[in-house]
Amino acid sequence: MEKIKRLYPLVFHPIVMEEPWGKENIAIADLGIEDSVVAEGWLSDNSIGEIMETYLERVVGDEVYSYYGRQFPVLVKELDIDGEMPVYVHPDDEIAGQRYDSLGGKELWYIVGAEPDAMIYLGFSQDVTAAELYERCSNGTVRDVMNHVRPSAGDFFMVEPGIPHSASGKMKITVIKESSELPFRLYDKHEQDRETLDTHLAETMDFISYGKYTVPSCRTENESEIETIADCPEFRINRIRLADPVHSFSEQAGSYILYICIEGEASVQIPVSDAEGRKNTENRYLKKGEVMLVPAEVNDFFVLPVDRSTVLLEVSAGKREDADSYINPDTEPFLEGEDYEGLEDEESTDNEIKPGKVSGKHDMQWN
């Protein structure tokens, strides 16, 4: 019987896209049109889509697979901005699913570096109407009614669906988002076709947040080694200042983990055994700007700093409630006074429905 090959940490070839406002470097994406391709190892030259089709829950974990199926749930890219980005807005999961058969556009922006002229635009600084928004998008003054934030390296911004957002100046941003590309543009000074922008605007008018938006605090003085900067159903993100080795261990495969190297360099070491049972270690390096996917079945490994100034972002699956939002759990199974022809008795003797199996947790242990 042929031995099943164990998956290993994966690094992908970058997909580089030139834009009028700079450059977009996609580190991992499973969108079906242009998927990321593995750079090394026995899975090299396979796309993330092909890997998901073949290895399923071994890549992402049982719970993630049961919710997302064969699509890898997260996209990571770096924006190298030197100019003026369009003003974008994304739909939520419900609208994206109903209209476009896609996930929504929730994302986190992590500022890798920013020059003094850099600016983030996020949400409206005052209430606006749909008519006013249309006029401002047409004449190029929409940023005048948006919040202006001067970013610094290490800042992070959660960009919620329905919130208009943009950036200008010179900066680098790591974007972690749902695996979806629905980049509706409200305003784009580089777009010459007014009809295209009008179409985008018309598509978004019913899911834009028109009210005044208060930008949440995006700076922290916390110098702890590990800090959670996002925790939502779509993803959980920790910022790790990797001064000492980290041991990640679980008794069973849980979630996939993505490591994004913001500063320095790290290595991921995996205990392995050869055919004779002798123990050894596989070592894979993660350099600044790279992203590594650790599959869910790789559930015992160490992350070590090569450089003492190493900073990583660790991305894993967020927690989702299993309950159906359309079902009121407090509702009685049978209506009083109705005749169900003995079904009430059958219901009481049936085996109780058990909740889904809970995946093994991901424990961070500092040595």
pLDDT digits (tens, 9 = 90+) for 130-152: 999 999 999 999 999 999 999 99
Same fold, 10-204 and 226-319+358-366: yes
Q: 10-204 adopts what CATH topology?
A: Jelly Rolls (2.60.120)
Domain limits, the chain:
10-204, 226-319+358-366
* Architecture in CATH for domain 226-319+358-366: Sandwich (2.60)
This prediction has a pTM of: 0.85
Beta bridge partner(s), residue 114: 171
Q: How many CA atoms lie within 13 A of 308 on its CB side?
A: 0
Show pLDDT as tens, one digit a residue, over the chain (367 residues). Answer: 456 788 999 999 999 999 999 999 999 999 987 799 999 999 999 999 999 999 999 999 999 999 999 999 999 999 999 999 999 999 999 999 999 999 999 999 999 999 999 999 999 999 999 999 999 999 999 999 999 999 999 999 999 999 999 999 999 999 999 999 888 999 999 887 778 888 898 999 999 999 999 999 887 666 678 999 999 999 999 999 999 999 998 766 689 999 999 999 999 999 887 767 778 889 999 999 999 999 999 989 999 999 889 999 999 999 887 534 333 444 344 444 444 344 444 444 343 333 332 233 344 333 3
8 Å CB contact between 36 and 324: no
Two structure tokens written together for 38: 């593995």
Query: Would you state the pLDDT for residue 320?
Result: 80
Q: For residue 150, give the DSSP letter.
A: -
